[in-house]
Amino acid sequence: MRIVNIVGARPNFVKIAPLIRAMSAEPALTPILVHTGQHYDGPMSEQFFTDLDIRPPDFNLGVGSGSHAAQTAEVMRSLEPVLDSTRPDLVLVVGDVNSTLAAALTAVKLRIPVAHVEAGLRSFDRSMPEEINRLLTDAIADLLFVTEESGRKNLLREGVAPEKIHFVGNVMIDALQASRPSWERSSIASGIGLDGQPYVVVTLHRPSNVDDPRTLLDYLGALQELARHVPVVFPIHPRVRQQLLRQGHLTESGTPVHSKGVACLDPLGYLDFIGLISRARLVLTDSGGVQEETTALGVTCLTLRDTTERPVTVSHGTNRVIGADPTRLVREVMWSLDHPPAGYGLPPLWDGQAAVRIVKILRETFEGGSRA
């Protein structure tokens, strides 16, 4: 069974690593890896591939940046000849980025079955581009692998046939557990003088939080205020750096003008980032994946959004959704430091075996004579 696996952005790399590993252990499966190049920072992509021990992709489409429409169209245009030449039995997509939807559309038009890993997640906020990608990918997928019970319920409510839905757990947690010995050795915290000290980690990248100049500066001001109470570490996403450059708010050393007292870092590789948040007292984020990782690590997380498509991180984990209001940030952090939320253990099937379950289902589907 020839399976073309699509990755395009850094969160995809984390999800695909355990899947490629599990597929490669099955003689009946031949995994083919296609990197669309949606995240076009070469060194960062290479760092993630190295950290996660992912073999080099068989194809790199080199799509790069662009508007949502342009990027989606370019992935489709570049992927079609790859699928024509490899003639796979299945195309597997992960997550909710533009490459996910573009690859699923391309495969369906060529009458190739599609499997979606991390299906069914819903924020119910259609202003988020990722929500549109999730909805449309799930609508055309043949096999839908869900990470939490909310995903199964959402898909059933949307009319997806129950036999297409498989509750398998979370491949991001597979990657986290498999790489534990490596990220536990990370010296990133000691490298910035915080080894053994309490600190807060911040990640920001959502357009709603960083694209408006006033909102972004308000967040930076709030982080500067928070740093008076507890050390703050801020790995700066390329999107944030681009916004600050446009606005003229970077110093000659490349740090934000309005971040005095905040430890600003360049984007981190996977192992250093997990090593950093695993030792943090608290994480502030607008990332979906970080909500899951902090839940698995038992680290208090405050989500800087009005909604989450991962409700299990709230019901079973240490996550609290506090809204996208910079003026509340310091108050909410200080309250949470004094009243850390109680975690309820790992969510069901977050046991490091999700990829094995997925591959078993793929193998049985193929051996049963069905093309998904």
Q: CA nearest 38: which of 64, 73, 1?
A: 64
Active-site residue set: 205
DSSP state at residue 179: T
pLDDT score of 342: 79
| Continuous segment of H or E residues that includes residue 94 | strand 90-94
Tens of pLDDT, residues 311-341: 999 999 899 999 999 999 999 999 999 998 8
Tens of pLDDT, residues 37-94: 987 666 677 889 999 999 999 999 999 888 999 999 999 999 999 999 999 999 999 9
Tens of pLDDT, residues 352-363: 999 999 999 999
Say what percent of the chain tops pLDDT 90: 81
CA distances to 64, 105, 297, 343, 347 from 318, rounded to whole Å, are: 35, 36, 9, 5, 11
CA distances to 16, 35, 106 from 76, rounded to whole Å, are: 20, 13, 6
CATH class for domain 181-338? alpha beta
Q: Compute the average pLDDT of residues 244-260.
A: 82
Residue 64 C-beta-side C-alpha neighbours within 13 Å: 2
pLDDT score of 38: 81
Number of C-beta neighbours around residue 328 at 10 A = 15
pLDDT score of 42: 64
Distance CA 99, CA 308 (A): 21
CATH architecture classification, 2-169+350-367? 3-Layer(aba) Sandwich (3.40)
DSSP state at residue 328: G
**CA 327 to chain CA mean position, Å:** 26
**pTM for the whole thing?**
0.94
Q: CA nearest 35: which of 72, 52, 4, 60?
A: 60
Q: Compute the average pLDDT of residues 132-144.
A: 98
Q: Using an 8 Å Cβ cutoff, are 248 and 258 in contact?
A: no
pLDDT score of 341: 82
Tens of pLDDT, residues 256-266: 887 888 999 99
Q: Is 110 exposed, middle or buried (0-12, 13-18, 19+ CB in 10 A)?
A: middle
Distance CA 220, CA 207 (A): 15
Distance CA 160, CA 100 (A): 19
User: Does residue 148 surpass a pLDDT of 60?
Assistant: yes
Angle at 284 between CA 281 and CA 285, to 5 degrees: 140
Q: What are the residue ranges of CATH 3.40.50.2000 in the chain?
A: 2-169+350-367, 181-338
